[in-house]
Amino acid sequence: MPGSSPLPIVTEALRLRKADRRRPALDVLDEAMREHRGTHPDFECIHPEFSHWTEPPSPFAELLRQAFAEDIEQSAMVAISESKASDEIERRWEGVIDLFAQRYDLWT
């Protein structure tokens, strides 16, 4: 499904997260991604604070951080969003996206 919309994924994930903040982030993503494995979502968006749902400061990016790299600090997320992150932090965030893609067989 080239170019499939990420909106159902993002909307469902954020709805699930809001419904139960104690639920592990990975469980939230597993449920939100259930019908979207093996797809090619385009996470670009028009938003005043970010242009891609998988990039900080989007709430979906925060969910990805909680699921795949909880040890990345909020200050690093802010640095990423402001294009001021170190190369190491940028590589770590790319690794988060890779883990997300591998787990749900995205963009293959």
Alpha-carbon Rg of the chain, whole angstroms? 13
The whole-angstrom separation of Cα 25 and Cα 35 is: 17
What total of structural domains would you count in the chain? 1
Average of per-residue pLDDT across 15-31? 98
Q: In this structure, is residue 108 part of a structural domain? A: no
The string of DSSP letters for 14-48 reads HHHHHH-TTS-HHHHHHHHTTTTTT-EE--B---S
Q: Which domain covers residue 10, as residue numbers?
A: 2-103
- Per-residue pLDDT tens over the stretch 69-86: 999 999 999 999 999 999
Tell whether 89 is covered by a domain.
Answer: yes
Residue 11 lies in a domain: yes
Residue 65 has pLDDT above 60, yes or no: yes
The pTM of the full predicted model, rounded to 2 decimals, is: 0.92
Residue 43 pLDDT: 94
Evaluate whether residue 72 is within a structural domain. yes
Structure tokens at 107: 């963009």
